[in-house]
A and B are shown apart, each in its own frame.
Chain A
Amino acid sequence: MINKIVSSVSEALADVHDGATILIGGFGPAGMPAELIDALIAQGAKDLTLVNNNAGNGETGLAALLKARRVRKILCSFPRQVDSYIFDGLYRAGQIELELVPQGNLAERIRAAGAGIGGFYTRTGYGTLLAEGKETRTIEGHGYVLEYPIRADYALIKAARGDRWGNLVYRKTARNFGPIMATAALCTVAQVNRIVELGELDPETIVTPGIYVKRIVHVPCAERGAGRAAA
């Protein structure tokens, strides 16, 4: 019997190694797997490379992981926010490496990794600082930049409901990076608000088929989005 359900967030992350690359879902607080991040802090892996759209808010979630000095490098599109002072301080002190990636390149590089695409040309960033030193090509009269996939050891994501095969559905804009991150890691761990019986999820509306998910853990959250405290 296939059963990807694990009993706790700590069990779900027990084998994360030092130096791992970890995709973390969420756009700001929406879709951020806060309990998995807390478990990662408790687990103690260090020297991590993180991929997220942002670089943490306040002192919880990603910001707490940064504050605990577990992160060597972060890839993100929008680190600077009104309450990103943990990241700001580490960055200014040269204690964290930043790879700033245009948001569409971030998404497409993750998607490429999950789909077995070795690289792609995009117009985004052509002629800008963020394309400096990268291979370019003129295609149909436009300048394009070569971008490579972002693969990871783990993806930590949050979904609304899931079953023991790892099928997932999401809630509203909390979907964001979840479905593509799920495809791009060796081990995808999903925290879900509700675990349902096989067959309960409408097969026409399953967003992430279970093939992409290794572990699923039940973390109940508030109905109208769990991220309000972190907003």
Chain B
Amino acid sequence: MQRLNRDQMAARVARDIPEGACVNLGIGLPTLVANHLPRSREILLHSENGVLGMGPAPAAGEEDYDLINASKDPVTLLPGGAFFHHADSFGMMRGGHLDICVLGAFQVSVKGDLANWHTGAPDAIPAVGGAMDLAIGAKQVFVMMEHLTKSGQSKIVERCTYPLTGMACVNRIYTDLAVLDVTLQGLRVREMIEGLSLEELTRLTGVALLREPSRAYA
């Protein structure tokens, strides 16, 4: 059993982003998805700081620090791209105009509750950014994360113990072990990595999982 690395996870998410979609990629792991979007598809990337139609990073020496992404790194603009102010940018999220957002997470519950902004530790300095707006606003919320914490605990849980970002907002979870859909009946396994059984995945995850007709990661 070979867990997916970060780039393989990003490539797997990218495969599910269709032609014509308007997409916001969260900071951290989801940012990698941009590197794997198929060139054959026209996909519009949105950035919270007021861009739609964001292009790749500029060549060295071509950086423009008035043209940055949510991580505050220099980016480029595709022909047809547009700039707008912050209330418009968040209106695009909150008004349900974005097709997909991809977010990282500390925990996701079986009901699709998302925790990704605060560990709740007393000395932690909280920072939320646009996560709560994306969580409730995008038509589909994809979470991309390692299945287990460094100490081996499942990040998919019955109930989130970290403070919530949004309630029942996650549609699909991509991990280094599996792809799972959040459904009214519970979590449904769409894909697992080769060599992993549903029994073993259930043991590692620690919550009940529903089976879908078996499919291995392509």
Residues on A lying within 8 angstroms of B by beta carbon are 27-31, 77-81, 84, 87-88, 91-92, 100-108, 110-111, 122-130, 143, 170-180, 207, 224-228, 231
Contact = CB atoms under 8 A, between A and B. Distances in A.
B86 interface: yes
A28 B68 contact: yes
Nearest to B27: A78
Interface in B110-147: 118, 123, 125-133, 136-137
Interface string B40-69: 000000011111000000000001111110
Contacts, number: 149
B216 interface: no
Interface of B: 47-51, 63-68, 72, 77, 83-87, 89-91, 93-94, 118, 123, 125-133, 136-137, 163-167
Contacts of A110: 87
B72 A231 contact: yes
A107 B93 CA distance: 12
Contact of A176 (B77, B86, B91): B86
A124 B86 contact: no
Contact of B132 (A29, A108, A130): A130
A176 B165 contact: no
15 contacts: A30-B65, A92-B125, A103-B129, A104-B90, A104-B93, A107-B87, A108-B87, A123-B94, A130-B132, A170-B83, A175-B83, A179-B85, A224-B63, A225-B64, A227-B66
Contacts of A228: 63, 65
Contact of A29 (B72, B93, B118, B130): B72
Given A102-B132, A103-B130, A173-B67, A128 B86 contact: no
Given A111-B87, A172-B83, A128 B50 contact: no
A170 B83 CA distance: 10
B91 to A, nearest CB: 8
A171 B64 CA distance: 11
Complex A-B, nearest 3 residue pairs according to Cβ-Cβ distance, in ascending order: A225-B65, A104-B90, A104-B133
